Structure 1
Amino acid sequence: MAPNAPYEPAPVRDEADDLRSGRRKAARYLVPVAVAGVAAATIGLVPALASSGDPDLPEISAQELIEKIAASDTEQLSGHVKISTDLGLPSIAGLADSFASGLGDEMKGGKDVKGAPDPQSLLLELATGSHNLQVATDGPDKQKVTLLGKDSDVSLIHNGDDAWVYDSGSKEAVHSKAESGEEHGKDEPAATPKELAEEALKAVDPSTKVSVDGTSRIAGQDAYKLKLEPKQSGSTIESVTIDVDADTYVPLKFAVNSTDGGKPVIDAGFTKIDFSQPAASEFALPKGAKVTEADDLEKDLGKHEGKHDKGDWDKGKWDEGKGKDGDLGGGMNVIGEGWSTIATFDTGGQGMPDKDEMKDVPAEVGGLLDSFGDKVSGDFGSGTVFKTRLVNVLMTDDGKVYAGAVTKDALVQAANGAK
């Protein structure tokens, strides 16, 4: 089937995530890694699946397909999702654990928190390699995503007003109150092809070429392939493809392709899917689980927070200033628009650590920073660009950060223009 003419919908603006996650001095060493990892997880979690032949389906325009995705009322499904991410980074599967072990006593008042799973460390783990997920959803108030591990699994469960993060190995869970309905998950990273597709389609504007690029067969389902391409120069993204079920119009597969060629940077898709109602037990915490309240962990952290050296990170200029092109809140600003958007924020004068400071940094972190950082200079001064196949981050020596799915030259140009 020949591709349809490009469709250019009206601009849609999405609320940006607030990245005020780092309070501690040590956290700034992980800024480039965190930005790259979280961005990768938000843009999409991952797999290229073999096709058994492209099905012959009725022609549909890109506009019609987008409208059908938006109008899809399928709210019940379960299945397996394979995730493969190739950002061009060394393996950082153990990086979060290494970092947490060094700060565990400091952050948690001496408590052993190994059994309390941390969603942020899961994001770091998903930033490289291949992973398998089990997913289930039954309407807006019941969702479950399980990351299948070698020795244990970690599940994020939402059921009405309750949410848990559960580790099957330790049989421990952290419980918190969850917003129900549409409010739930709006600030959470996307975890399924449907959520990833929704995030991508929110960003579609006149800078995007949209077309239907043939058909495919994913997890036994006939699908249309929707293709998004940037019209602007300077982006590291060659295209985003979304395979959409031809019957339910649920996105089945999501892939991000880099301008450097090769396999997709991010490739997430169902290997098995069932559109029947999942069992109610899917959304219940297993019996015998040891539950810790998230509020109690926060209280413990608050009591102990004054005992460590916060450094200048806490004194940063997170809440100062407005960006040239827009203020994202919390001190984060946005430069540019569309595929060339760059997020920028000020760490409060703290650039990359010097050699003496690096002595206190876990070896895994130091090696990671050295492996994908390039020194750059310009009108803004000097700094380091941390490169991946998708997201690049410039950290200037005076503590300003510029990040986006753009080239190194685009980051340097943005920093020069902001001076």
Structure 2
Amino acid sequence: MSARRPFALFERGMYLDGQRAVAFVLPATLAGTLDEPRLRLALDRVQARHAVLQSLVEHAADGHPWFVQQEAPPPIALRIVERQGEDDWQEQARLECERLFDGAREPLVRLVWLRGHGRSDLLLSCHHCICDGLSAVGLLRDILTVCGRPDARLGPRFELQGGADVVPPEAKRNRWLQRRAQLKAALFKGFIRLQRIGPPVSYGAAYTLRWSIEPAAVQALVRRAKDEDVGVFAALCTAFMLACWSVRGVRGVDKFVAPVDARRYLPSLQGGALFTMAPTVRLGFGGRKPRAADFWGLAHALQADMRRQVDRLAPAVYEQLLGLERLHPLFDRLIAFSRSRPAGRGVSLSYLGRLDDSSRDEGGLRLEAIHAPSAMLEPTPASLITIVGFAERLDLAFISDESSLPGVQAAQIRQLAMELLQAASALPALATSAPGSASLPVESV
């Protein structure tokens, strides 16, 4: 008998009955020979590792969606397109962000292969209800591993686990934590019931601005950050926060946040499990006045404040996982309420880290680049900055919509942030590049 479980509330909020495009697309460029049978084998091996990829979506009588594991699941979809140029992947990333998944008929992950002679691009498209950025990175790493070494052993297999199932036993036994989760859920129910629901807010056309920081500039940034005892991500956050305030004004941005990998608090998910709930920490300078002349002091304060929040985040994660499930009866009202309130005035900075451990040759295949992921979120992706490090480069994507943040202002923020980094770390001039163009390319998502 196949396993089945209901969607957790945070998964349901991302899935939205499959009627909205809520996707995460991770592109990669490969050198070498790739053939369809081996790629198909890699997808089959990855699917066999994750029960959620062997599942289809069914709806109960009350409208609640369920994952239902299939004894003979349909394969992960593979779409093959002939590669015509170096920048084809950008258009395909845009298309994948707009395409819906049919969860009743196919897994909520698919792959596009831009097939070329000696060079290929792979675009891994994941529904955000089952994958965060690190989930996509893990899937892509497994796919490339099997493409290079078909007999390679992958990590552990993961069964269907609901949100509350992954909470550690000691947290479930904590009566104080359980009471807090119940109280917060009850208060939130009361709050939502009292709110007036207006019409949904409309947003402008979504876009993605892409660029990269070249190796010489990255090396200079890393050296200076190390001297200042500050991480690269803290430096990047500081530059973007100062740039956003300069372009939009202090009141033009409600808040800056960064997602945290929830797996650090959930041992049963460690080792490569697919998971989508990403708690966030609010980015700030600990009361320090934001001045560009104090760049490294600000970065140091931001990093210290971020670490304090991360260290204290575990109870909040457990409370969310335990308490959110009490809100399913109000799901439709929750969604209507969120759509009636303006979004897009915050900025989220998501850093997937350095992925150089995947750059080794695998059976004649060499990973040449991993590009910053694209994303489409509901009701708007505004404003999201994704960052990935690979082969001594940093690749970045700035994703927003024209009403929340006009593309012209996003380009100004990008330019000013890079100038701030250059001034702060003596980066070589003209260290940034945009794929396929000397200008700043703004592509519609």
Which category describes the TM-score, using the shorter chain as reference length?
under 0.3
* TM-score normalised according to structure 1 size: 0.26
Structure with higher strand content: 1
Quick one: higher RCO (CA 8 Å, sep 6+), 1 or 2? 2
Structure with higher helix content: 2
* TM-score normalised according to structure 2 size: 0.25
